[in-house]
Amino acid sequence: MQKLLFPFSILYGFVTLVRNWAFDLGFLESYTPPVYSIGVGNLRVGGTGKTPMVEYLIRHFGAQNNIGVISRGYGRKTKGILTASPDSNATEIGDEPAQIVRKYPEVVFVVGGNRVAATKHLLDQNKSVEYLLFDDVYQHRYVKPHCLILLTAFDDLYVNDYVLPSGRLRELRSGADRADIIVVTKCPEGLSENDQHELKVRLKPKAYQKVFFTTVKKSPYQRVYGNASECSSNVVLVTGIDGSKRVSNSVLKDHSIVKHFDFSDHYSYTPSDISSILKECKSHQETDILTTEKDWQRLRPFVEDLYDRDVSIFIIPIEIEFFGNQSTQFNEALNDTTRKN
C-alpha cells in the first residue's frame, strides 16, 4: 500500500515545498509578535509531546511573567477565537488547552484557528503579556515565532518517515531546518550518551541547531475521582491518544491491566462509553480506572455527574525530564534566543 501511495506523497511534498519557498522568499507574509515568542511543533502527524513541552516552558518562564499561550484548540466543537479559563471544558476549547489552563490558571490562553488573529486578540486584550507560547505552530507559517522548537519522538524520528499519505510527515524532512532547537522526546530511560550521539548523527542538525533528549518523568498517579488513597494493582486503562501502546507498556511495569479501552486520538467520549467502562471496572474486585491527563479533560463532564464513589479514577501525569544536565543547557539555549531578540 505504501508503494501505491508514494506518487501522491511526491505530489504532496512538492506542494509543501512550493508553499515553504513562498514564505522563505517573502511572497507569503509571516507575522512576528511584538513580544518574545516560542513555537512548539513537529513534522509528523500524531503525538510527540507538544503539550508537556509547553507546560515545561510555562514553568521555565514562570507564570508571574505574564505568559500567553496560543493554540488551535484541536477537537473543540466551537469556532472562532476564544479566551480559555479553568471553567472551560474540552468541548469548548479542546482537551490540551483545557489541561493546561486548569494546571496553570494564571496563564492567558487563547484558542483560534487563525493564529495571527488569535495572537493580536490576546495581545490587544492583555497588554502585560511578556512571553508568547505557540502550541503546534510549525506548519502554520503565517506566524513566525522568535524561536522554533521541533519535537520528534524517539521511536518515530522524522528522518525515518515520508510525507503523507505514504508516511506521516506533514512536510518534507528539510522542514526541520527551520528549527532553532530539536528535542528528541519519549526516549527510553537510561539512554546512553553514545546512543544520543548516534541519534544526533542520524538527525544531521545544522550548525545553528542544538539537539536535546528527554524522557517521561515517572510520577505517582493522581486521584481525580473517588475515595481510594492509592491506585489499585488492577486497573481498567482508558486512552484516546496517539501512542497509547507506550502508555500501556509503562502501566504494565507496575500494574495489571484487566481491560484496555483504546480509542482514537482526541476521541469524544459518550455516555455509553462511560457506562461500559464503569461496568467493566465493577466486574472486577479492587480495580480502579486509569487514564491520561488529556483523556480526563474529555471524560470529566460525564464522570462528575455520576456521584458513584465506589469507583476511583486516577490519571497519569506526563512531565518531560531531560537527560543529565541537558535541562540547564536547554534553558541556556532559550535564554540565548531571548537575548538575541
328-338 pLDDT, tens per residue? 999 999 988 77
Helices (H), the chain: 2-24, 50-61, 90-93, 95-103, 115-125, 193-203, 244-251, 271-282, 293-303, 326-340
pLDDT in tens, 82-138: 999 999 999 999 999 999 999 999 999 999 999 999 999 999 999 999 999 999 999
Q: How far apart, in whole angstroms, are the C-alpha atoms of residue 53 and residue 339?
A: 21
Higher pLDDT, 302 or 316: 316
Residue 157 burial class via C-beta count within 10 angstroms: exposed 0-12, middle 13-18, buried 19 and up: middle
Q: Mean per-residue pLDDT for 183-202?
A: 95
β-bridge pairing 82-84 and 108-111: antiparallel
- pLDDT higher than 60, residue 68: yes
Please tell me whether residue 222 adopts helix, strand or coil conformation.
strand
Grid cell 487514564 is found at 291
Mean pLDDT of the chain: 92
Other Cβ atoms less than 10 A from the Cβ of 123: the count is 18
Domains detected in the chain: 2-66+130-216+323-340 (3.40.50), 222-318 (3.40.50)
- pLDDT higher than 60, residue 60: yes
Band the pLDDT of 219: cuts 50, 70, 90. confident
pLDDT in tens, 23-37: 999 999 999 999 999
